[in-house]
Amino acid sequence: MISREQLIHQIKQKKSFLCVGLDPDIEKIPAFLKEYPDPVLEFNKRIIDATCDLCVAYKPNAAFYESRGVKGWQSLVDTWKCLPKDCLNIIDAKRGDMGNTSDMYARAFFDETTSGMSFDAITVSPYMGHDAVASYLAYQGKWVILLALTSSEGSKDFQYLTTEQGLLYEAVIKKANTWAGADKIMYVVGATKGTEFTNIRKFAPDNFLLIPGVGAQGGNLADVCQYGMNKDCGLIVNASRSIIYASNSEDFAEAARAEALKIQLQMEAELEKAEII
């Protein structure tokens, strides 16, 4: 389990706030890996070994494993076992149900005795309110990462609607901050929403923000840091495709490391500029 203090320490030690997204598409991984008993696990292990000193978090996306049925679920369990324990490990599951269903989802990803996995954090949709989040918050030492403002085109459908508590995404943050503090709750904020970070920091000044969209999706790291960084950094920036698919040949792990290093060096410069390191 990674606490807020441990996460901040890792950021300063590694001079990085990079999260590597482990989203392996069986159709896209290098062909030679198909010779292994579990090609996805082998792919993930090599990516992890090549990048673990350059990042502070890993984020498997559950859909890429669930889509492969029993084999995929086993790949996820075995991948979790390979994740470095000094890195925050996030399951990107985007669950959002309530009651017993929510309890079972929490058990699936947080209770190693029943599922074989115990991730540090899970992404959750807050659409159903506190009932959709309470089961995860009940676990000591675990993080809940709530969807706040996404980088998708469809974010305009609901997230910017005006409510009595402000824009809908603002209302989500304000309400969720009454459920737990910045040592338990993070927020997902799309990297393509550059200047929106200034507004988000009004309502979530201390929370860590998980930022997808840097890399293949075109998010700008400098803008994210300018508008979203706080005194503790407060950012976990995810890159998936740009790192894990940097090459489709036998050198894919080396290529992944080169891409991760490029991002890490940019992050180091931003941390120095902010006088965090």
Residues classed as catalytic: 94
Answer for the pair 256, 29: CB distance below 8 angstroms, yes or no: no
With tokens 């859909």, the residue in question is 63
Helices 252-273, 4-14: crossing angle, 10 deg rounding: 100
Answer for the pair 49, 252: CB distance below 8 angstroms, yes or no: no
DSSP assignments along 83-122, one per residue: S-TTSEEEEEEEE---HHHHHHHHHHHH-HHHHS---SEE
Please list the residues that pair with 209 across neighbouring strands: 187, 235
C-alpha–C-alpha distance, residues 174 and 168, integer Å:
10
Helices 196-203, 168-176: crossing angle, 10 deg rounding: 30
Number of C-beta neighbours around residue 89 at 10 A: 23
Task: Report CA dihedral (81, 52, 30, 246) to the nearest 10 degrees.
Answer: 150
The sign one gets for the Cα dihedral 174, 178, 181, 186 is negative
CA distances from 40 to 67, 122, 249, 262 (A): 13, 21, 15, 25
